[in-house]
């Protein structure tokens, strides 16, 4: 990291210390990944850009994780991570508190919301600011922390909820969606509208994404493949993989799914957006599996 960039970070952190916790801070990290690998960073309050485009260069395959690690202490509440992909745009809505990462997949003026765990107000604001129409709500799996605001988002938008057929039962059962393992009471978000299967192709704008069934974390866990990015839910993280001890978990099935993702990493390059933690690449994330498995 250059001295100039360090100076900019220091200036930004001083500014944040002054304005304090009364303001919602949005940190937007935008990376051009299609050609020159020249990321740039915007730090903003709602509607206001505070500092723009300090450019810097990374040489390793995990530059996104590196950058976010350096910057995440500057933001709270919500971090918006914007990737301008070759095929589709991925907007990561990252809560700093409890719950999973949420995403918007964008093509043209259409979007899918993935795992709506962040406040529906944040998602709606992002859709409105970009004049995007929400075509559907996709779920990587049915755990409660990934569907935390699903009910509210569906009520506000009318968008259909799409989940793998084997995880559909989790949406209305607090034991199966693991809510009752952590909290008291019931938690239901209503029935799914569309049941997904492996290799289903979903059209968004002028592009298509593919559903990849990756059971193990839950019976119906899936990854969404946009062509240049893979949204992996809790199957594969930047470092490690999801637990398999909750309802529907199966270690043997998870190992098979992870091995398949390792083989995919050998063939094709993908950015990786997991349900928790920081973004990475499929290649980097699957390399971390060598500490656990023989593949």
Confirm or reject binding of residue 149 to Fe ion (CB under 5 A): no
Chain mean position to CA 127: 16
CB of 276 to Fe ion, least distance (A): 8
**CA-wise closest residue to 195 among 142, 248, 246:** 142
By beta-carbon proximity to Fe ion, the closer residue of 143 and 164 is 143
CB of 84 to Fe ion, least distance (A): 28
Please give the helix or strand (H or E) that residue 269 lies within, else none: none
Mark 109-136 as b/e (b = at least 16 C-beta within 10 Å).
ebbbbbbbbbbbebbbbbbeeeebebbb
Collapsing DSSP states into helix, strand and coil, what is residue 291?
Answer: helix
By beta-carbon proximity to Fe ion, the closer residue of 135 and 143 is 143
By beta-carbon proximity to Fe ion, the closer residue of 134 and 147 is 147
Q: For residue 199, which phi and psi values (nearest 5 degrees)?
A: 75, 5
Under DSSP, the state recorded for 290 is G
Cα 120 from Cα 108, distance rounded (Å): 21
By beta-carbon proximity to Fe ion, the closer residue of 55 and 175 is 175
CB of 256 to Fe ion, least distance (A): 18
Chain mean position to CA 281: 13
Q: Are 64 and 284 in contact (CB under 8 A)?
A: no
Strand 161-164, strand 229-233: pairing? unpaired
Contact pick of 143, 149, 219, 270 for Fe ion (by CB under 5 A): 143
Residues 9-68 that bind Fe ion (CB under 5 A): none
Binding footprint of Fe ion, residue count (CB under 5 A): 2
Confirm or reject binding of residue 270 to Fe ion (CB under 5 A): no
CB of 205 to Fe ion, least distance (A): 28
CB of 21 to Fe ion, least distance (A): 30
By beta-carbon proximity to Fe ion, the closer residue of 89 and 234 is 234
By beta-carbon proximity to Fe ion, the closer residue of 27 and 137 is 137
Confirm or reject binding of residue 167 to Fe ion (CB under 5 A): no
CB of 218 to Fe ion, least distance (A): 7
**What are the tokens at 226?**
């946009």
**C-alpha torsion sign, points 238, 243, 248, 250:** positive
By beta-carbon proximity to Fe ion, the closer residue of 165 and 228 is 165
**C-alpha torsion sign, points 190, 249, 225, 164:** negative
The binding track of 206-235 with respect to Fe ion, each residue x by CB under 5 A or -, is ----------------------------x-
Confirm or reject binding of residue 176 to Fe ion (CB under 5 A): no
Residues found near Fe ion in the complex (CB under 5 A): 143, 234
């Amino acid at each position: 990291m250059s001295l100039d960039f360090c100076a900019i970070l220091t200036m930004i952190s001083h500014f944040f210390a002054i304005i304090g916790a009364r303001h919602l801070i949005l940190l937007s990290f935008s990376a051009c990944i299609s050609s020159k690998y020249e990321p740039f960073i915007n730090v903003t309050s709602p509607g206001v850009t505070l500092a723009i485009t300090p450019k810097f260069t990374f040489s390793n395959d995990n530059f996104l994780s590196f950058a976010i690690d350096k910057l995440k202490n500057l933001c709270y509440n919500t971090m918006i991570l914007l990737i301008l992909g070759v095929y589709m745009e991925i907007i990561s809505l990252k809560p700093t508190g409890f719950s999973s990462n949420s995403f918007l997949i964008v093509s043209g003026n259409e979007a899918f919301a993935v795992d709506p765990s962040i406040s529906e107000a944040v998602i709606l604001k992002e859709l409105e600011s970009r004049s995007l129409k929400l075509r559907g709500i996709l779920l990587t799996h049915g755990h409660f922390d990934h569907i935390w605001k699903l009910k509210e988002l569906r009520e506000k938008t009318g968008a259909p909820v799409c989940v793998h057929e084997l995880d559909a039962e989790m949406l209305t059962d607090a034991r199966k969606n693991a809510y009752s393992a952590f909290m008291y009471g019931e938690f239901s978000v209503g029935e799914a509208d569309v049941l997904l299967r492996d290799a289903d192709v979903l059209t968004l704008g002028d592009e298509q994404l593919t559903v990849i069934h990756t059971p193990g974390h839950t019976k119906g866990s899936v990854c969404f493949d946009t062509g240049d990015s893979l949204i992996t839910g809790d199957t594969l993280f930047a470092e490690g993989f999801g637990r398999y001890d909750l309802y529907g978990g199966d270690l043997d099935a998870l190992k098979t799914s992870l091995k398949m993702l390792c083989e995919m990493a050998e063939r094709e390059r993908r950015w990786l957006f997991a349900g928790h933690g920081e973004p990475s690449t499929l290649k980097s994330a699957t390399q971390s599996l060598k500490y656990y498995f023989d593949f």
